[in-house]
Amino acid sequence: MNNPYLPVKAKILDIQKQTAIDYTFRLAAGLHVQSGQFVELSIPRVGEAPISVSDFGDGFIEMTIRRVGKLTNVVHELKPGEELFIRGPYGHGFPLEQFRGRHLVVAAGGTGLAPVKSVLNRYYHNPEEVKSLNLLAGFKSPADVLFAAELEKWAQKFSVTVTVDKGDENWTGNVGLITGYVQKLVLSNPAGTQVIVVGPPLMMKFTIREILGLGVPPENIWVSFERKMCCGLGKCGHCKIGDTYVCLDGPVFNYTRAGQLVD
Ligand X SMILES: Cc1cc2nc3c(=O)[nH]c(=O)nc-3n(C[C@H](O)[C@H](O)[C@H](O)COP(=O)(O)OP(=O)(O)OC[C@H]3O[C@@H](n4cnc5c(N)ncnc54)[C@H](O)[C@@H]3O)c2cc1C
Binding residues for another protein, rule: CB under 8 A, are: 1-6, 42-48, 66, 68-69, 72, 200-201, 226-228, 230-231, 233-238, 240, 242-243, 245, 247-248, 262-263
Contacted entry of ligand X, ligand FES, another protein, none for residue 1, CB cut-off 5 to 8 Å set by kind = another protein
C-alpha 51/C-alpha 43 separation (Å) is: 13
Is residue 111 a contact partner of residue 66, using CB atoms and an 8 Å limit? yes
Binding mask 109-138 for ligand X (x = CB under 6 A): --x--x------------------------
When binding is defined by CB under 6 A, the residue of 227, 236, 240, 261 that contacts ligand X is 227
Q: Which of 226, 227, 223 is nearest to 253 (CA)?
A: 223
Shortest distance (Å) from residue 99 CB to another protein: 26
Q: Is 230 annotated as a binding residue?
A: no
Looking at residue 155, what DSSP letter applies? H
Looking at residue 77, what DSSP letter applies? T
239 lines the binding site for ligand FES (CB under 6 A): yes
Q: Which of 124, 12, 127, 138 is nearest to 76 (CA)?
A: 12
127-156 CB burial, b ≥16 within 10 A, e <16: eebbbbbbbbbbbeebebbbbeebbeebee
Shortest distance (Å) from residue 87 CB to ligand FES: 12
Pick 147 or 225: Cβ nearer another protein = 225
